[in-house]
Amino acid sequence: MYRKTFEELSKDELYALAKLRQQVFIVEQNSIYSDLDDYDQVAIHFLDFDSSGKLTVYARYRQCDGTDEIKIERVVLDKSVRGRGQGKRLMNIMLNDIHVNFCKTRIALSSQLEVCSFYRSLGFTTQGESYDDGGIEHITMYYQG
C-alpha cells in the first residue's frame, strides 16, 4: 500500500486512480457527478496495485477547510479484489495514518447506504438522514474507534 501526497503521485498513478474511480463510480454505478473536485491536490492518497501493476485499491483523505475534521473519500476497489479483505486493510491503514498525523481530529465519511455495515464493522456510526449524491443514497458516518 502506498501513501502519497498529490505532488508525489506520478502521471501514471494519477491517470490510474482517475480511471478506477470513473470505472466504478460513474460507469458501474451509473452515477453522473463531477469526480474531479479540486480536493485531490490537498488530499493524502492511498494506492495498491496487483502483481501486474494494475491499480486495484484506492482512497484519499483530507482535512476539511475551517474545521477540525478529516474526511475519508473515494474509497474504491476494482472488481477483481472485492470480498478479499482489501477494503478493510485499506481502511485500517488509513485510520492508523490519520491517528498518527491528526490524533485528536474527528474522522468522517459519506457512505453509500449499501455499504454502511462495512463501515460500522470498523467503528463508524451514522448521523443524520440519508441523502442523494449522484443518484445514489448516502449517509454521513463518524469514526468512534
Domains and CATH numbers, the chain: 2-143 (3.40.630.30)
* Average pLDDT of span 41-50: 97
Closest alpha carbon to 71 in 45, 41, 106: 106
Q: How far apart are CA 120 and CA 108, in angstroms?
A: 12
pLDDT in tens, 82-139: 999 999 999 999 999 999 999 888 999 999 999 999 999 999 999 999 999 989 999 9
β-pairing verdict for 69-77 and 106-112: parallel
The torsion of the CA quartet 61, 64, 69, 71, rounded to 10 degrees, works out to -30
* H-type alpha helices, 79-115: 86-101
Does the model's pTM come out above 0.85? yes
